Every structure is written in structure tokens, then in C-alpha cells.
Amino acid sequence: MLVVTLIFLIAVLSIPVNQPQKLIWLAVYPIVASEMSGIGYGNIFLKSLWILPLAILIGIFNPIIDTSKAFTVSGITISRGWVSFISIIFRALLSFQSLLLLIATSGFLDMFNAMRHIGCPAVLSTQLLLTYRYISVIIEEAIIMNRARQARGYGKKSYPLSMWGRHVGQLLIRSTQRASNIHRAMKARGFSGTLPTGSRMQWDSHSLTWMCCWIACIAIARFVDFSTFITHIMP
């Protein structure tokens, strides 16, 4: 799953921004793989919408900056900026869906072990694992501060923006203090910057066949332009 996901991400990110039609065919992987695993593409798609505001923020200025003509549909001119904007959104959704599918099927700890065994730098894999494991520290501090705000708010539901700035600053300070305490406890227990991996993962014929089939499908979807082929055969 990790190798296929990496190949899929490379294929998605390597497609030029002015060719979003090729991204449609790569959507076969998250759709089919999620249904095969029993998760359901609907769940993956709904969760991937969380990345949509970030994708919109990244490409929102493309239609304003690039106004050159890309093509015309029913007398309506579509600029290259809009094409690249749609491409950015598709890339973000497909990439995030593949990562959600990886975590949902493999689990974060198994993904961490697989990253270490295929040669991923220990610094990167350890940072990801610690972030996943201790994200609850920030959530816990936010819950405590929110409960204190409600107890001292006298029924108020809205607060000025300046108060929220102080709230976020205090959350950062409290989280940093908790992180320092956790780091000192880990150092006292022999933490040297890397975490031990689990048992050695072994390849089997089923996994190898599954991986090769999906890599072949992704490669075909990446390098074969089915949109042009369908356009030529249609009357």
C-alpha cells in the first residue's frame, strides 16, 4: 500500500497543470481500492473535503493572474488560470484520498514501520509518528482552555478577535511546555532521536501481485491519454 501510494502521488503530481483531464483517469485508484477494501469511496471522499479550503487558497489567484485563452465551450472562453485552478483542486483531493486510504487500510503504526523498512529517513518517519501520537496533547490543552473560557464567560458565546489571539498564544505556550516535559521523560528513558521499528515485514506473492497490478494501472492512466482517444473514436 505504501509503495503504490508513493507511485500514485508521483503520477498525480507529475501531470501538467494545464491537463486536468488526465487526473480523472487516475481517480480509478482511490475509488476502486476503497471499495475493494470495504471502506467505501463515499467515506474517503467526504473526509478528503477537509483539504478543499487549502487547495482553494493555493489556486484562487490563478484565474486572475493567467487570463490567456485555453479553450472555448459553447461560446464561453475558459482561461488557463481556471484550468490550472481546477487542476490544483483535483490534485489535492486525489492525493489526500490516497493518503486517507493508506492510513485507513494499513494503520499509522504499520505505515511507520513500512516507511522505515523501505529506507525512509528516520528523522522524517519519527517526526510523523510523534506528531500522530502526541497531537492529543494540543487537543487536551485546547479542551481545558475552552472549558475555562466557558466557566468565566458568564454565558457569552462570541468574543472579540483580540481575545482569540491571546487564546491561541496561550495554547501554543502550554503545548510547548507539555511537549518539553514529554521530551525530558523520553530522554530519561533512553530516547536517542529514533524509535524502534516493529517486526520485519515480508513480501508475499499476493501483496506483490496486488502491487504490480496497481502500479501498471497507474502507469497506464498516467501515460495514456484516454480523453483524446475517446474524442477520436466518438462520431
User: pLDDT for 211-227, tens place per residue?
Assistant: 899 999 999 888 887 76
pLDDT at residue 155 above 80? no
pLDDT tens string 54-113: 989 988 888 888 778 776 767 777 788 888 888 899 999 999 999 899 888 887 777 777
Report residue 12's pLDDT band, with 50, 70 and 90 as the boundaries.
Answer: very high
Mean pLDDT of the chain: 82
Which residue is associated with the grid cell 486517507?
100
Residue 23 has a CB neighbour count (10 Å cut-off) of: 20
Q: Which residues contact 89 (CB under 8 A, 6 or more apart)?
A: 52, 55, 56, 59
14, 223 in Cβ contact below 8 A? no
Lowest mean pLDDT among 43-57, 111-125, 178-192: 111-125
CA distances in angstroms from 87 to 30, 123, 153, listed in the order given: 17, 32, 45
Alpha carbon separation from 104 to 39, 44, 50, 186, 207 (Å, rounded): 8, 9, 16, 28, 17
Question: How far, in Å, CA of 129 to CA of 125, rounded?
Answer: 6
pLDDT of the residue at 92: 92
The tens digit of pLDDT for each residue in 128-142 reads: 878 877 788 788 888
